[in-house]
Amino acid sequence: MRALVLLALAGFLAQLVDGSLGMAYGVTSTTLLLLIGTNPAAASATVHLAEIGTTLASGIAHWRLGNVDWKVVGRIAVPGAIGAFAGATFLSSLSTETAKPVMSAILLVLGVYILIRFTAWGVSTRDLNKPVRRRFLVPLGLFGGFVDATGGGGWGPVGTPALLASGRIEPRKVIGSIDTSEFLVALAASAGFLVGLGSAGANLGWAVALLIGGVVAAPIAAWIVRVFPPRVLG
């Protein structure tokens, strides 16, 4: 019982960060599961199962507060789902030990970039409200979905900085759109793990605990995105 309570608290904190910054739920939750001895495939499967519910709750909350650009969601979610399914089946059959340093380096570079962009340069509004091209969103979705499934997280760290860098969408809609599209990514990843690992791949009890904490945090995080200025969010 104590472990489940701690997982629920971890799910709450992870979703609070993810829903307000557009990233970190999967990375935080998966890291916790790995620390307690879960193998990478099972950890990622458990987290993505929980994310089906947390991303749905987060998407509804962001939509109700006007934080979603549905054109972006429509163009990035399907490629993201394809990448996630491929990544899940790949992780189910192969070790990702050699890929971990590469993924960590990518996420570190993206994190440093977004920190510098917000603190030093702020958010450019020169191209604001210009359409984001499909030729940019499709490969971004495929790559983000694949990294998300194989690394246990990565949809937000890959997608959020890339959309912010375009300068075409205001930050709150970047975060809301990434969080909303992640529902389809989590669903596809879970299907991939089901194919690769079977029904025993994910720990249902742990997934439910993470889900409860995440659902509670989702509307709070969406409100933070709506109220706080872009520089503070960054």
Q: What is the mean pLDDT of each run of 10 residues along the chain (234 residues)?
A: 77 80 76 74 81 89 89 93 90 62 61 62 60 86 88 80 81 88 91 77 80 87 78 59
Contact 180, 72 (CB under 8 A): no
Q: How many CB atoms lie within 10 A of CB 137?
A: 26
Instruction: Indicate the SS3 state at residue 133.
Output: coil
The pLDDT, as a whole number, for residue 81 is: 95
Report pLDDT for 153.
Answer: 73
| Residue 119 tokens, joined | 């603190």
Q: What is the pLDDT of residue 84?
A: 92
Integer distance in angstroms from the first to the last C-alpha of the chain? 36
Q: Please say whether the beta carbons of 75 and 144 come within 8 A.
A: no
**Joined tokens for residue 128:** 């604001």
Degrees to nearest 5, angle at CA 171 with 121 and 222:
140
The domain locations on the chain are: 2-233
| Ramachandran assignment for 66, one of left (phi > 0), alpha (psi -120 to 50 degrees), beta (any other) | left
